[in-house]
Amino acid sequence: MQIQTQLSWSERIAEMICQQCDGEGYHVFPSERWAYVQGMTLMAMARTGKQYGKDEYVSFMKRHMDLYVQEDGSIGTYALEEYNLDQINQGKNLFELLETTEEQRYAEAAHLLAAQLAGQPRTSEGGFWHKKIYPFQMWLDGLYMSSPFLVQYAKTFDRPDLWDEVAHQILLIERKTRDPRTGLLYHGWDESKEQIWADSVTGCSAHFWSRAMGWYAMAIVDSLEHFPIHHPKRGTIIGIFERMCHALVRVQEQDSGLWFQVLDQGFRKGNYLEASGSSMFVYAMAKGVRLLYLEPHFRLAAEKGWQGLTSRLMEETEKGVKLNAICHGAGLSLDRDGSYSYYVGEQIVSDSFMGVAPLLLAALEMERLP
């Protein structure tokens, strides 16, 4: 790809995000409520600002967070009683705001989200339900939504018991969803085995969805970053992360360096090389190598994946960076049965922040590798 500018990839992607929100002043975010994709995007923007000394990107995050966080610390459009792990994710930005402004409202908002997790419905072994409306179900997605927030909350407010909680959640879902043959993790697990998508013996869903494993991979590296080195489960978490990354490398498509929507099904009819999961794996492996959670040879997999993203799925247009082949969304429910045809049949879009935000995170980590 011919590069026409001296800006880094992450700066160009951040500019595209600004333009999508509002080219005249970046005031309008394409979301009407406190939401997990918006939270991930704002976090990526703030990291870009800090990494490249561009205060406007940090201000972008603060401006949009302040649309929701009220003076008393309440959060507009958020309802604790939903007990929805997705709603925790945007709260990760509160710690940056609290550190830089020392405004108490950001601490109060963090306490509110932590209160949700204290009362989150649980499986018999203490695993967080993904949502109140999904009884006895754990999804890989939920680990990214909740664990990095909770571990940073533990660090910020001196709650060492919450490090134990995070370790328990990470290790429990890996034990319940890991396939011993491939080393890959199923998207979800239903303890009750009542759901249409759940195996009658294991309770697991039927397939390995790329983005679900991407959420989990990011959850681990982002949580470990704030874990104390003396925690007794830290080494175990690092170990399962490396074991999982070996499994991901085994299903990495060799020509492109990318990962399939359904990870282990190769070029089966309908399957495709998907942008969001691939970006998440590049991010997690690059960060894992940088922080020494992974052996150095995983850098090659990250670099190959990044090359695939830039050469195969990204374009530079007059309007900026364009990202293609993003799965718009997928889940597990009565009408989302977790079958192969379901995952490959979901809408494929371009430029959705569901893919662009992890792409920006991946770019930032690739640019930090020595």
- Active-site positions read 141
Interstrand relation of 314-317 and 188-190 (parallel, antiparallel or unpaired): unpaired
Say if CB 343 and CB 274 are below 8 A apart: no
Distance CA 362, CA 57 (A): 17
Tokens representing 311? 């050469």
How many residues would you count in the chain?
A: 370
- 329's CB contacts (< 8 A; 6+ apart) are 346, 347, 354
CA atoms within 13 A on the CB side of 79: 4
Distance CA 303, CA 175 (A): 29
Beta bridge partners of residue 316, listed in sequence order: 321
Distance CA 164, CA 198 (A): 28
Number of neighbouring beta carbons within 10 Å of residue 228: 11
The helix/strand/coil state of 243 is helix
Taking Cα atoms as reference points, which of 362, 258, 308, 356 lies closest to residue 13?
356
The string of DSSP codes covering 97-140 is HHHHH--HHHHHHHHHHHHHHHT--B-TTSPBPSBTTSTTEEEH
Taking Cα atoms as reference points, which of 139, 40, 34 lies closest to residue 80?
34
The helix/strand/coil state of 209 is strand
Say if CB 14 and CB 45 are below 8 A apart: yes
Distance CA 304, CA 285 (A): 11
